[in-house]
Amino acid sequence: MKPPPPVRLQVSSPADTALVDGGTVEVRGRVSPARAEVRVQGRRARVTGGAFSAVVSLAQGPNVIDVAATARKRSAAMTAFRVTREQRVAVPDLAGVGLDDAQRALAGRGLRLETERGGGFLDPLVPSGLAVCEQEPAAGADVRRGTTVHAVVARAC
């Protein structure tokens, strides 16, 4: 007598190495036999007619999601894939902030600073240090960690 075939498991979404913004992701796929039990991250998933789905909470950064399917008298099937929850931060307001302080404020949020010298013809004669006059992206913008903030700096704005 031939043994029954193993459980077949296919995850259709999200794709391996997917990048997402939200705190949860819906895992979907198909399983055969249609009455197999599916567990995503150890929790039972909803299975209807061989289609399964489950909502998974994500931590900031990379996450590994495991999926397992079992059925009576059949070998189990398992898979795992990676989903990264992008870390987004608000850009601080740098207007009037000294160059060193602006660099520290951005570094503390995982952002980079790129500067361009501004100011008029007499700017080198002003006795104060360099400060930020303009920035892009604007203060309060929600950006990915690692984003470069472009700033125009001068002694007098």
What total number of domains does the chain contain? 2
Whether residue 92 is found in the same domain as residue 81? no
Whether residue 93 is found in the same domain as residue 40? no
* Cβ proximity of 7 and 77 under 8 Å: yes
Residue 66 has pLDDT above 90, yes or no: yes
> 0.75 exceeded by the pTM?
no
Whether residue 80 is found in the same domain as residue 94? no
Predicted local distance difference test score (pLDDT) of residue 58:
96
Domain ends where: 85, 111, 142? 85
Predicted local distance difference test score (pLDDT) of residue 2:
85
Mean pLDDT of all residues in the chain? 93
Q: Span 93-112, mean pLDDT?
A: 95
Predicted local distance difference test score (pLDDT) of residue 88:
85
Whether residue 98 is found in the same domain as residue 110? yes
What is the distance between the alpha carbons of residues 90 and 105, in angstroms, rounded to a whole number? 11
| Residue 80: Cβ-neighbour burial (10 angstroms; 0-12, 13-18, 19+) | exposed
Residue 15 has pLDDT above 80, yes or no: yes
Domain extent, residue 147, equals: 88-154
Q: Span 103-120, mean pLDDT?
A: 92
* Cβ proximity of 149 and 135 under 8 Å: yes
Predicted local distance difference test score (pLDDT) of residue 94:
97
| Residue 21: Cβ-neighbour burial (10 angstroms; 0-12, 13-18, 19+) | exposed
Domain ends where: 69, 85, 101? 85
Domain annotation covers residue 3? no
Domain annotation covers residue 96? yes
- Residue 46's identity, in one-letter code, is R
Q: Which residue has the higher pLDDT, 62 or 122?
A: 62
